[in-house]
Amino acid sequence: MSYSNFITTPLSKGYIKWHTMHPDKDGMCQLRISEGFYDEEESYTVLSVTGSVTEDGWFKCGRMANTYEQKQVLFPDIS
């Protein structure tokens, strides 16, 4: 996991992209953002993604090495 910073508009759509270096044949991902500024704060919002996802927002990912994947997300309106 790594940290990133970006600016977006609430309720806008955008893409999140990642590179898989160490695959997992059963890999599942969930995209979420923190509602706070500190690592110890465990308040997260699961991002709404396009495509095939479970009820909890999990989707297949990271199953092949040296590949890039991306999902389109809807950024929430967090106050």
At 21-73, the pLDDT tens digits run: 999 999 999 998 877 666 656 678 888 998 889 999 999 999 999 999 999 99
- Does 7 or 27 have the greater pLDDT score? 27
pLDDT at 5: 64
pLDDT at 58: 95
pLDDT at 63: 96
In a domain, 37, yes or no: yes
Q: Are 40 and 10 in contact (CB under 8 A)?
A: no
Q: Which domain holds residue 45?
A: 16-74
DSSP 8-class letter at 47: P
In a domain, 11, yes or no: no
How many domains in the chain?
1
In a domain, 38, yes or no: yes
pLDDT at 3: 63
In a domain, 63, yes or no: yes
In a domain, 79, yes or no: no
In a domain, 4, yes or no: no
In a domain, 67, yes or no: yes
Q: CA–CA separation, 55 vs 15, rounded Å?
A: 20
In a domain, 5, yes or no: no
